[in-house]
Amino acid sequence: MKNRSIISVTNGVPRHPLWRMAEPVTLQINRGEQIAIVGDNAAGKSRLVEILTGHYPLLQNEVHYDFSPSKLRLTSENMKYISFRDSYGEQDGTYYYQQRWNQHDIADDMPTAGQLLQDFYDSADRLTGSDLPPAEREQEQQNRDKLRRMLSSLFHLSELAQKYIISLSSGELRKFQLAKALGTNPRILILDNPFIGLDAPTRRDFRLLLEALTREAGIHIILVLSKRDDIPDFITHVIPVEGLHLLSKMERAEYQQHYRAVPAPALADEVRRWIASLPAQTDIPSIAPSSIGGTEPNEILRFRDVSIRYGSHTILRSLNWSVREGERWALSGRNGSGKSTLLSLVCADNPQAYACNIELFGRRRGTGESIWEIKRHIGYVSPEMHRAYLKDIRAIDVVASGLSDSVGLYVRPRPEGRRACLGWMHVFGIEQVADTSFLRLSSGEQRLCLLARAFVKDPELLILDEPLHGLDDRNRSLVRQIISQFCQRPHKTLVMVTHYEEELPDCITHHLTLTKPEA
């Protein structure tokens, strides 16, 4: 008996040429199949999903859905999709870089994350299944309520309930977005790289939850993955995508046999030589004992008894930490433990730094230095920064914004600046998209672009907050090698955050693990 499909398309060709795959899309996803769409950065994974969800209208043939036994009729009720950028928050046009640290933006009537989530659920409940008989609608509601209790327990949503959206860490924000999508109890759930940004225990529990949903609630899961190691055991079939070509769907065991991990290529010798030959810095800041705080020689930064609070929430409590020139630190901790808040203090993005005993490059914060004097020595990338880049500008102009430490103001680089930008884009393998709109790049290409931005001014202090988000296996390996090669040069210091231990470069010398302060 032929399998009954839940999604099928035959010879699907999007109307706009920029949305098309290399050939017409023919694909059938059957009942009982749990899918992983896997491929390298810019392979066409997200483009395929946009076709399957109906976001890209087709020339002739339509995508067909069979959501039975669901009684809900609308595709929007039965299918939910969280894209890579959606996982960083709502794209309402009001977000700006540093917003998370500027609590004066919180109006008296601004709802908390818990209120926003409940409002979303209430709205979904009013609209979902409005045409069903009362008994069937009540059953649908009971199923959603049960699932929401499970999500609340898994993601510790009670801890987020009283926080404001702009105060959530990137990992907490991903939990919020996942709870929104899952809480509507869809028939089909499509998640783009759902595990990045989540700490290890949450990743483990989230896999178990997804598996339980497929088994007990009959939800069909489609995961879009750049990292092949992230394919969970409950996935039954894999759809490989390579160079905009949709390859044959195969069982997971068959895929793992054919696509065994191969050693990533070593960093090209010419790239190593180019990084090593960069001119030595001639304007390194004076790292001398501070007249106020008594900074030790060669000390890049020092925190003395630093505490950060937002309302009733303590993020950091009595933190003491020092980093010397040439050290390479790995910063770890559970979601919401304060890692990004700590980095915002170092990068002069958080105004609370002025009320803390913090010394950077030999000077106490608040003793007359400008934030631009601090930023000119720091290269930085973070999930918040990725979220802030929403303008339709050339990729090279995004990289060039690192020369002036701007986010939102873009000036085309001068010839010498353009050479530096192209040089680093070549290092990260994206020089071919230099003149392409940043918004037309894949999420992985965007992340490589922002990494080039962090390196372009050859900073003394490199701060990388989850730098490998969304990168495929090859690019993750190459970026790790680039970081290590860069840190071999004199006067280079590194602080890096990741929830994957294997993502740390081999140059790491020190570790700092943050824990959530007790209430």
Give the CATH number, domain containing residue 53.
3.40.50.300
> Distance between CA 148 and CA 217 in Å, rounded?
13
Q: What is the pLDDT of residue 109?
A: 64
Q: Output 20-28 pairs: Cβ under 8 A, ≥24 positions apart.
A: 20/47, 20/244, 21/47, 21/48, 21/51, 21/244, 21/245, 21/246, 22/243, 22/244, 22/245, 23/245, 23/246, 25/51, 25/246, 26/246, 27/52, 27/239, 27/246, 27/249, 28/3
Would you say residue 513 lies in a domain? no
> Distance between CA 436 and CA 128 in Å, rounded?
41
Residue whose structure tokens are 């630093």: 306
Would you say residue 421 lies in a domain? yes
In DSSP terms, 495 is beta-bridged to: 329, 463
3-state DSSP call for residue 42? coil
Q: How many residues would you count in the chain?
A: 519
Could you say which DSSP state residue 89 is in?
-
10 touches 31 (CB < 8 A)? no
> Distance between CA 82 and CA 224 in Å, rounded?
10
Single residue among 258, 285, 314 that ends a domain in this structure: 258
Tokens of 211: 């598996």
332 touches 339 (CB < 8 A)? yes
Q: What is the pLDDT of residue 15?
A: 94
Would you say residue 148 lies in a domain? yes
The overall longest dimension of the chain from CA atoms, in Å, is 82
Secondary element (H or E) of residue 375? helix 371-375
Q: What are phi and psi for residue 130, nearest 5 degrees?
A: -65, -20
Q: How far is CA 152 from CA 164, 212, 278, in A?
A: 17, 15, 50
Q: What is the pLDDT of residue 97?
A: 44
515 touches 483 (CB < 8 A)? no
Residues 390 and 244 in one domain: no
> Distance between CA 34 and CA 394 in Å, rounded?
38
Would you say residue 215 lies in a domain? yes
How many structural domains is the chain composed of? 2
**Side chain identity at 269, as an amino acid letter?**
D
In DSSP terms, 460 is beta-bridged to: none
Could you say which DSSP state residue 337 is in?
S
Tokens of 288: 């001398």
Give the global pTM. 0.84
CA angle at 330 for the pair 324 and 334, rounded to the nearest 5°: 135
Q: Is 363 exposed, middle or buried (0-12, 13-18, 19+ CB in 10 A)?
A: buried
Would you say residue 265 lies in a domain? no
Q: Output 200-209 pairs: Cβ under 8 A, ≥24 positions apart.
A: 200/499, 201/334, 202/154, 202/155, 202/171, 202/175, 202/334, 202/335, 203/499, 205/154, 206/154, 206/178, 207/232, 207/233, 207/234, 209/150, 209/151, 209/154
> Distance between CA 391 and CA 410 in Å, rounded?
10
Would you say residue 273 lies in a domain? no
| CB atoms inside a 10 Å sphere around CB 265 | 10
Domain extent for 390:
385-458
Single residue among 404, 426, 458 that ends a domain in this structure: 458
Would you say residue 436 lies in a domain? yes
| Cα 14 versus chain centre, distance | 28
Single residue among 198, 223, 258 that ends a domain in this structure: 258
Q: What is the pLDDT of residue 225?
A: 94
Tens place of pLDDT per residue across the chain (519 aa):
456 899 999 999 999 999 999 999 999 999 999 999 999 999 999 999 999 999 999 998 899 999 888 777 788 888 999 886 655 554 444 444 445 545 555 555 678 889 999 998 998 888 777 777 888 888 888 888 988 988 888 888 888 888 887 777 777 887 888 888 888 888 899 999 988 888 888 888 889 888 988 887 788 999 999 988 889 999 999 999 999 999 999 999 999 888 876 677 899 999 999 999 998 765 544 433 333 344 465 899 999 999 988 777 788 899 999 999 999 999 999 988 889 889 988 887 777 877 888 888 877 776 666 677 788 889 999 887 887 777 788 999 999 999 887 665 566 778 888 999 999 999 999 999 999 999 999 989 999 999 999 999 999 999 999 999 889 999 999 999 999 999 999 999 999 999 989 999 999 999 999 988 765
Q: What is the pLDDT of residue 108?
A: 59
Would you say residue 100 lies in a domain? no
